[in-house]
Amino acid sequence: MSAKIINGKKIAEELQNLLKKDVAALPSAIGLAIVQIGDDEASTIYVRNKLKAAAAVGINAVLHKFSEDVSQTKVSSLITKLNADPDVNGIIIQLPLPAHLDEETLLESIKPEKDVDGFHPLNIGRLQNGSDKALIAATPKGILYLLENCGIDLCGGNALIIGCSKIVGRPAGMLLLQKGCTVTLAHIHTKNLPELIKNADIIIAACGCPQTVKAEWVKQGAVLIDVGINRLNGKLCGDIEPAAIQKASFITPVPGGVGPMTVAMLLHNTYEAYLKQKQEKPTK
Ligand code: NAD
């Protein structure tokens, strides 16, 4: 058996095309502010992709760029200004930040209803409570979209999440729990990973370690979502051994799987934030 490849690029394009129509039908423009500090190479690529994708769906994305040595006060005053600007519906701070900046304070200073990355504690709490007011982090939201788009039955399945970062693993676990999965969160100190993998119907591999999930451990028919972006011998690879395709029922490729969905979901969150802001009273 060979797995069905989940074409994240195509699914993201379809979602963005739908979004483009919805955005065009709105009575006013949607604004997204992207705050970038420093010249981290990967961040610059991610920001460029976000700006390009936003323009393609008709969202006005504006980049606010600071030099590496910018002060906390200066970034904070920009966030205050963006929070108050009615033309700005979404605000993201591109991570990682230089070490001298207090990431937690800056992320918490974004108005929850403009927090389209879903990193504010209020949005994290709302996600945990299953509230539809939550803005949910784009990567886990994109993963759920892929699973549902492929018609995968989640209820009652054993889901193993490998890696429990605040931006991927933990929110992904919470979303799958709400869909009726029995969720296990594994991490760097987990001792029996091969056993957990053998028992998993759905695996979300998000640990950033090349080919951590060995094909020989994968259960026949398992659904494999590979979030990892790694380089091995100069080539891009995920956290799952490619030979696992022989055991899985569905698998995401790297690249072209989860990555494009993250950008599409960020735009979707911005659209959702706009709608919520027009219909609801602000929470802060
Ligand atoms: P992180 O570094 O914040 O967290 C990594 C997690 O994996 C931690 O919980 C750690 O304990 C765990 N871990 C590390 N090594 C492990 C191992 N050998 N076995 C089990 N657990 C292990 O990472 P992150 O920001 O969540 O990113 C994870 C990976 O996903 C990276 O490769 C990153 O580039 C990628 N990523 C991709 C997208 C996308 O859109 N495709 C988005 C975010 C992150």
Alpha carbons 151 and 186: distance in angstroms, whole number = 25
Our mutation pick for probing the ligand 1 site, out of 168, 204, 209, counting the most ligand atoms within 8 A of Cβ, is 168
Q: Name which of 98, 96, 145, 138 is nearest 119 in CA terms.
A: 138
Of the pLDDT bands very low, low, confident and very high (cuts 50, 70, 90), residue 140 is very high
Please list the residue range(s) of the chain that carry CATH number 3.40.50.10860. 27-111
pLDDT tens-place string over residues 226-254: 999 999 999 999 999 999 999 999 999 99
| 282 has a pLDDT exceeding 60 | no
CA 29 to chain centre: 24
Kindly state if the Cβ of 164 falls inside 6 Å of ligand 1: yes
Cα(220) to centroid(ligand 1), Å = 25
CB of residue 262 inside a 6 A radius of ligand 1: yes
Q: Quick check: 87 pLDDT over 80? A: yes
**Average pLDDT for the chain:** 96
> What are the pLDDT digits (tens) for 142-185?
999 999 999 999 999 999 999 999 999 999 999 999 999 999 99
Torsion of CA 254, 259, 264, 266, to 10 degrees: 170
Residue 29 alpha carbon to ligand 1 centre in Å: 35
CB 148 within 8 A of CB 156: no
CATH architecture of 137-259: 3-Layer(aba) Sandwich (3.40)
Which of 233, 225, 212 is closest to 254 using CA atoms?
A: 225
**Smallest Cα–Cα separation from 185: which of 173, 197, 203?**
173
Inter-CA distances, 184 with 110, 158, 159, 164, 216, Å: 31, 8, 6, 10, 20
> Do 12 and 50 meet the contact criterion of CB atoms below 8 Å apart?
no
Domain with CATH 3.40.50.720 in the chain: 137-259
Q: How many CB atoms lie within 10 A of CB 15?
A: 20
Closest atom of ligand 1 to CA, residue 207: 7
Cα separations in angstroms, 106 against 35, 93, 190? 11, 8, 32
How far is 238 from 214, CA to CA, in rounded Å? 12
pTM score, whole prediction: 0.96
Average pLDDT over residues 92-117: 98
Active-site residues, by number, are 50, 94, 117
pLDDT tens digit string along 121-139?
999 999 999 999 999 999 9
Q: How far is the CA of 188 from the centre of ligand 1 (A)?
A: 10
- Distance spanning both ends of the chain, measured CA to CA: 53
Retrieve residue 166's tokens: 């605040």
d(CA 185, CA 126): 20
For the segment 14-54, what is each residue's pLDDT rounded down to a tens digit? 999 999 999 999 999 999 999 999 999 999 999 999 999 99
Instruction: Decide: 168 in ligand 1 pocket, CB within 6 A.
Output: yes
pLDDT at 280: 53
Q: Which CATH number fits domain 27-111: 3.40.190.80, 3.40.50.10860, 1.10.10.10, 3.40.50.300?
A: 3.40.50.10860
How many percent of the chain have pLDDT more than 90? 97
Question: How many angstroms is it from 235 CA to the middle of ligand 1?
Answer: 18
What separation in angstroms does the CA of 37 have from each of 10, 43, 258?
A: 31, 9, 25
Amino acid, res. 31: G
pLDDT over 70 percentage in the chain: 98
Cβ within 8 Å of residue 13, ≥6 positions away: 260, 264
* Statement: residue 281 has pLDDT above 60: no
pLDDT at 279: 85
Q: What burial letters (b/e) apply to 229-255, b meaning 16+ CB within 10 Å?
A: bbeeeeeebbbbbeebbebbbbbbbbe
pLDDT at 9: 97
